[in-house]
Amino acid sequence: MEPHTSPGSEAGATKTGVGRTQLSRTLKPSWVWAIALGSAVGWGAFVLPTDWMATAGPLGAILGFLIGGALMLVIAVSYGFLIKSFPVCGGEFAYALNGFGRKHAFLCGWFLTLGYMCIVALNASALALLSRFVLPQVAERGRLFEIAGWDVYLGEVLIASAAIVIFALLNIRGASLSGRLQYIFVLIMIAGVALLGLGVLLHSESQWSNITPTFALEVPAWTAVLAIVAIAPWAYVGFDNVPQAAEEYNFSPAKAFRLIVFAILAAAVIYSVMILATAAATPWTELAAGDPRWGTGDAIAGLFGGAGVMLLALSVSMGICTGLNGFTVAASRLLFAMGRARMIPGGFAKLHPRYATPYVGIAFTVALCLVAPWFGREVLLWIVDMSAIGVTIAYTYACLAAFKRFRGVDTAGQPVGSTAKQATSLAGAVIGLTFLALLVTPGSPAAFGPESAIALLIWIVLGVLFYIGRFRENTALSDAELDYLVFGNGGSQGAAQRTSEELQDSSP
C-alpha cells in the first residue's frame, strides 16, 4: 500500500516497510460527548415509548432502561481504559486484535460494521416514518409495492435517501463540521425533551393516574423488566462510537471515560422522561391497546395540539440527525481501521485529498444504506434486531481485552490493573455474554425471530467469503507491520510500556 499524503496524514514508512495514514486531531470533548449521546438516543426515545410500555408498563420500562444503563456503565470502564491505552480509530477492532489476534479482530469488526450500518439505515427510515405523520401528503406519494405488510412509497424512499446522502457529504467535508453540527443537534434535542417533560408535568389535563398500572399485566414484572434490559445494547449503542474516533481527539484520551459516563447517564434520563411524558399525557393502556402510527405523537397532540407535535417533531428530527451523523462517523472510522490493517481492501484506508477524511468508508456506508429504504421498515427491523448481536459481541471483546491487559504487568513489573479493575472488566464481559444469550436463546423475552436469524446467517457467510478473499494479503503482513498499521508508532507494545502512573490514575 502506497503512503497517502494528505492534510493531517502521517505518511511514510518505518522499519516495517509499510506506510500508514492517520486522521487529523480536530474533535473537541463536547463534540465527542455529543456523538456518544446523540448516537445512543437517536430516534427510539421519541418513537418507541408506546411499544416499551406495552411490553413492560411505564415503571417497568423505566426500570429496564435504568438497569440497562447501569450495566452499560460497567462495560464503559473497560472502554475508558482501552481508549487511553490505544487512542487510535477502530475501537473494538483494535482491542480485539491486541488481545486475541487477527481472526478475532476481523470477527469483531465485521459484526460491528453491520450493527453501525443498520442503525444508519434505520435512522433514515425513522425520518421517513416521521414524515408520514407530519407531512403525509409528501411521504405517502407514489406507492411502489408492499413488503411484509408495509406499503413502500417513493416519497419516503426519497426522504430517507436524501438524509443518508446529506450526512455522508457533511462527513466527507470534515470531522470538525460533523462534530460541531452534532453538538448543536444534541443541545436542541435536550431542550426539546426538557420542554416536553415540563409541559406534560405542569399541564392541567395531565393525570398521574394515566401511568397506572405501572407494570404490564400479562407477564410477571421481572420478566417485563428483563425484556427491556435485554435491549440495552441497542438502546445505548452509540457510547462505543467514542473509541472509533479516538485518533481524532484534540484532547487527552484519558477524558474519554468521563464523556462516556455523562452520555450514558443523559441517555437514561431522556429515555425515562419520554416514557413518563407519553404515559402521563394519555392513558398508556389505551395507546398500547390501539394501533397508532406514532403513540407518543398522538399523546402529545392530544395534550398540546399542533404546537406540541411540532416541538416533538423537532426533537425527534434532532435525534435522527445525531444518529445518522454519529454512526456514519463510527462506521467509516471502523472501515478505515480495517482497511489500514488490510483485512478489507486497502482503498478504505485512503483519505480525501482535500478534507483528509476516510471518504471511501463513508461512500461504502452510503451505498449499502441507500438500498434499505426500498425494502420497507418491517424488513429493515428484522436486520436491526439481529444487528444488536454485533454490538454485543463488540462489547464482550472490549471487556475481555481490558481484562487481559489489567492482568498484565508494566515494564517495572507492577500490575497494570488492580483487582477491582480486573473484576469490573470481567463483569462487563459476563454482562455482554448475558445480553448475547438473551438475544439468541429460544424462548427468551428478547430472542429475535427467524427472519433475523436468516439475515444473520447471510452476513456470517459474507464475512467468511470476505475473510477468505483477503486471507493471503493479510497474512503476508508480519506481526510488526500489522501492529504498526493499526496502532501507529510504537505499536501496541508501545502502549503496553506506558508507565504505571499513566495507566493507574484515578479514572479507568
Q: Which three cell numbers stand for residue 213?
A: 398500572
The pLDDT-based confidence of 34 (bands split at 50, 70, 90) is: very high
pLDDT at 498: 40
Lowest mean pLDDT among 205-209, 390-394, 404-408: 205-209
pLDDT bin (cut points 50, 70, 90) of residue 506 is very low
- Average pLDDT, integer, range 217-244: 84
Q: Is the pLDDT of residue 5 over 70?
A: no
Here the CATH number for the domain that contains residue 331 is 1.20.1740.10
Residue 383: pLDDT over 50: yes
Residue 497 within a domain: no
Decide which of 13 and 271 is more confident.
271
123: nearest Cα among 290, 331, 432: 331
Range of the domain at 360: 29-492
What's the rounded mean pLDDT across residues 304-327?
A: 91
Q: Give the pLDDT of residue 233.
A: 78
Query: Where do runs of H (alpha helix) occur along 236-375?
Result: 241-244, 256-281, 284-289, 295-340, 359-369
Residue 21, pLDDT above cutoff 60:
yes
State residue 414's pLDDT score: 66
**Tens digit of pLDDT for each residue in 262-276?**
999 999 999 999 999
Is 502 part of a structural domain of the chain? no
Mean pLDDT of all residues in 450-475? 83
C-alpha cell at 164: 443518508
- Check whether the bond before 213 is cis (ω within 30° of 0): yes
pLDDT of 314 over the 70 cut: yes
Query: DSSP letters along 395-448, please?
Result: HHHHHHHHHHHHTSB-TTS-BSS-HHHHHHHHHHHHHHHHHHHHHHSTT-TT--
Tell me the mean pLDDT in the region 328-333: 92
Report if residue 480 sits inside a domain.
yes
Average pLDDT over residues 207-232: 82
Whether 4 maps to a domain, the answer reads no
The better pLDDT of the pair 217, 370 is held by 370
Whole-number mean pLDDT of the chain?
Answer: 84
Please give the distance of CA 381 from its chain centroid, rounded to a whole number: 16
Helical pair 49-85 and 376-406, crossing angle rounded to 10 deg? 30
- Here the cell at position 476 is 503476508
Report pLDDT digits (tens) over 422-461: 899 999 999 989 888 887 888 776 677 787 788 888 888 8
Contact call for residues 76 and 261 (beta carbons, < 8 A): yes
Which of 219, 268, 294, 235 lies closest to 63, judged by CA? 268
Look at residue 221 in the predicted model and tell me its pLDDT.
83
> Percentage of residues in the chain with pLDDT exceeding 90?
37
Q: What is the mean pLDDT of residues 105-123?
A: 88
CA 130 from chain center: how many Å? Answer: 21
Give tens-digit pLDDT for 61-80.
999 999 999 999 999 989 99
329 within some domain: yes
**Domain assignment present for 504:** no
Q: Given a cut of 90, is residue 165 above it in pLDDT?
A: yes
User: Domains in the chain: how many in total?
Assistant: 1
pLDDT of residue 411: 65
Query: What is residue 412's predicted lDDT score, i.e. its pLDDT?
Result: 65
Confidence of residue 399 (pLDDT cuts 50, 70, 90): very high
Question: Buried b / exposed e across 167-182, counting CB within 10 Å, b at 16+?
Answer: bbebbbebbbbbbbbb
Entry pTM: 0.86
Q: Taking 90 as the threshold, does the pLDDT of residue 19 lie above it?
A: no
Query: pLDDT: is 19 or 255 the higher one?
Result: 255
What pLDDT does residue 491 have? 57
